[in-house]
Amino acid sequence: MRIGLIGSGYWARTVHGASVARHPRAELVGVWGRDGGRTAEAAAELQTRPFSDLEQLLAETDALTFAVPPEVQARIALQAARAGKHLLLEKPLTTSVAEARQLETAVEQAKVASIVFFTRRFVPANQEWLRHLEELGGWQCGRAELTASIFVEGNPFRDSPWRKEKGALWDVGPHALSVLLPPLGNVTSVMAGGGRGDQVHLVLAHSEQRSSTVSLSLTAPVAAIGNSTYVYGEQGREVAPTVAADPVAAHSAAIDALIEQAASSVPRHPCDVHFGARVVEILAAAEEALRTGCRVAVSSA
């Protein structure tokens, strides 16, 4: 699969680009970025071509992998889908419900494959855990806590404008939802409250009277960073593995999934654009709940 890289920053170079460049069934055709100088540097680092013309990159590729801010991703992904290109997208798809649904429609109409790179969903230990939960069934409640400290000296994401604006809810919130939704089902409403810094706490109502809570922060003390996830129900309590994810290996697995879906007559995947759009709907409802102090129903397409 001929894949173009959208983005020239740290995550684009060290994860998306590195993964495609090493993948035995993929060719890294080139890099397009918003900053010409950084694009040239990324292309040199990855031993591929810099593109200043997005249309030219589209013309020479089968698919794109994205590592740009959500609002940039949504616009380019829509253009790419309409051009018949397969999409390996970052989370969140966008921070706009309308844009997420528009992208869903474009992918459906073009019949292209789509994968959203929820990193945890492409880690073997987590995949096995979710399969185990599906086999057991009967889950009633869950909790996910993700605490990070990224706005510190030396962190590659410390100067990310969209993360500073949107905080943990939109940055690590998708990771929490990606592992809670499979065992607990769709979210129907959200309550939210804030804490220190960008800390946010969510109470989620799921289908069939299931529920979960989520606690998120990108501004926790360095000594307190970590994560934990569990569910409980008729079969007892099951705690998610805490193995450190290798993002390049996880992205390589996402490329495998994209290639498989591209070869399918009905390209669907548990982490495709449709699942990504449902996550955007939940996060948008949570943002409104945080602003208003009220329970907010999740509006689903």
pLDDT, one tens digit per residue, over 42-97 is 999 999 999 999 999 999 999 999 999 999 999 999 999 999 999 999 999 999 99
Instruction: Give the start-to-end residue ranges of the domains of the chain.
Output: 2-120+248-276, 124-241+280-297
Is the preceding omega at residue 92 within 30 degrees of 0, hence cis?
yes
Local confidence band at 243 (pLDDT 50, 70, 90 cut-offs): confident
- Collapse the DSSP code of 200 into the 3-class scheme (helix H, G, I; strand E, B; otherwise coil) and give the result: strand
129 has a pLDDT exceeding 90: yes
For domain 2-120+248-276, give the CATH number: 3.40.50.720
What average pLDDT is seen over the chain?
97
C-alpha distances in Å from residue 128, one per residue of 135, 231, 241, 257: 11, 15, 10, 16
pLDDT, one tens digit per residue, over 170-206 is 999 999 999 999 999 999 999 999 999 999 999 999 9
Pick the CATH number of 124-241+280-297 from 3.30.1180.20, 3.50.50.60, 3.30.360.10, 3.40.50.2300: 3.30.360.10
Local confidence band at 301 (pLDDT 50, 70, 90 cut-offs): low
C-alpha distances in Å from residue 301, one per residue of 31, 162, 197, 253: 33, 25, 32, 29
| Calpha distance 48→165 (Å, rounded) | 33
